[in-house]
């Protein structure tokens, strides 16, 4: 029987690092990185929108981020992106039919992965690192299965393997919030953060950072796109888990999650870690689905460490 090493990240975090002055300094740093525009590229007859955070040193492959359910270009934490991009170019994008991108969103993760592959190829990249968050992690897994040649390393955050039935067994209250017409601050605090005082406070700071994003506002994800994503998620949980397929993916994989994820239950991250032959697992304390937005600098630094490692 194989032995697995679990790296559990336990650290002491304080609110002082997220002071108002720190937020202002962060905005200044972002302003110095890039002009604030949403870029467009035609991919197989459809317009895809994206934003690129530049490192400009060219020593590392770019990191492509795959988004969560109903997420658009504005959904990512600016502090998280800024920390990630200290070591590499970081690209966030709307996949086909999502928000400001054209076309129709497919109702399965395999086609979403094919569309993402076409987008990456259209940008001219032959090798990239990928980070999939939530259902974006399901798309990233399909990318590893269908287009392994383009991926150097992969990070799977707050997600689940194919056939993880628990992702369709959420509390009805959670489903009600997820499917509401508008996902406001209270919705995010419930879905993405633990109910503890510390986690909720850090969640509110994330929301402020997200709202202060200097880019022109992206379009909301429409009902048709959200429905297609929901169908893809449901079918992913009902699908058959092909352990042999996972065992053949030999590239380095980092699986990460919060201690108590109510959207993609944390036990799925442990399961994913065990499925991959060359995987590492990071779990973060007092956090849930949005752990990477709760501890943006810490998590991004850990992700960069994984991506920079030679092994």
Tokens of 265: 């239950």
Residue 218 included in any domain: yes
Residue 294 included in any domain: yes
Residue 62 included in any domain: yes
pLDDT at position 272: 98
pTM, rounded to two decimals: 0.89
**What does the pLDDT look like over 226-264, one tens digit per residue?**
999 999 999 999 999 999 999 999 999 999 999 999 999
Residue 44 included in any domain: yes
| pLDDT surpasses 70 at 29 | no
**What does the pLDDT look like over 117-165, one tens digit per residue?**
999 999 999 999 999 999 999 999 999 999 999 999 999 999 999 999 9
Write out the residue range of the structural domain in which residue 100 sits: 7-308
Residue 110 included in any domain: yes
Residue 1 included in any domain: no
Residue 286 included in any domain: yes
Q: How far apart are CA 157 and CA 40, in angstroms?
A: 26
If one counts the domains in the chain, the total is 1
Residue 2 included in any domain: no
Residue spans of alpha helices (H) in 147-196: 172-178, 185-192
Q: How far apart are CA 237 and CA 31, in angstroms?
A: 41
**What does the pLDDT look like over 265-289, one tens digit per residue?**
999 999 999 999 999 999 999 999 9
- Identify the burial level of 149 via C-beta atoms within 10 angstroms of its C-beta, where 0-12 means exposed, 13-18 middle and 19 or more buried: exposed
Number of H helices, E strands in the chain: 12, 9
Give the mean pLDDT of 8-33.
36
Mean pLDDT of the chain: 90
For residue 268, the domain's CATH number is 3.40.50.1820
H/E stretch holding 134: none
The contacts of residue 78 (CB under 8 Å, 6+ apart) are 26, 27, 30, 209, 210, 212, 213
């Amino acid at each position: 029987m194989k032995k697995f090493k679990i790296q559990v990240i336990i650290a002491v975090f304080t609110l002082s690092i997220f002071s108002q002055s720190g937020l202002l300094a962060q905005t200044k740093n972002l302003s110095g990185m890039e002009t604030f525009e949403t870029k467009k590229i035609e991919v197989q007859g459809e317009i895809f929108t994206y934003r690129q955070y530049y490192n400009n040193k060219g020593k590392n492959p770019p990191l492509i981020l795959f988004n969560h359910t109903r997420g658009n270009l504005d959904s990512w934490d600016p502090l998280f992106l800024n920390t990630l991009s200290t070591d590499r170019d970081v690209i966030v994008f709307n996949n086909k039919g999502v928000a400001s991108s054209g076309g129709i969103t497919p109702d399965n993760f395999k086609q979403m992965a094919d569309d993402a592959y076409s987008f990456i190829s259209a940008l001219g990249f032959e090798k990239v690192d990928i980070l999939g968050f939530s259902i974006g992690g399901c798309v990233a897994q399909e990318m590893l299965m269908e287009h392994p040649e383009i991926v150097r390393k992969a990070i799977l955050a707050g997600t689940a393997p194919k056939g993880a039935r628990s992702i369709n067994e959420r509390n009805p209250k959670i489903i009600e919030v997820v499917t509401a017409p508008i996902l406001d601050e209270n919705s995010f605090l419930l879905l993405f953060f633990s109910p503890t005082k510390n986690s909720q406070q850090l969640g509110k700071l994330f929301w402020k950072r997200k709202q202060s994003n200097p880019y022109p506002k992206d379009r909301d994800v429409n009902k048709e796109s959200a429905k297609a994503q929901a169908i893809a998620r449901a079918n992913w949980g009902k699908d058959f888990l092909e352990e042999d397929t996972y065992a053949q993916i030999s590239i380095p994989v980092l699986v990460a999650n919060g201690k108590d994820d109510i959207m993609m239950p944390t036990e799925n991250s442990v399961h994913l870690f065990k499925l991959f032959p060359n995987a590492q697992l990071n779990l973060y304390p007092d956090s849930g689905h949005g752990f990477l937005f709760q501890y943006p600098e810490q998590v991004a630094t850990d992700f960069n460490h994984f991506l920079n490692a030679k092994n």
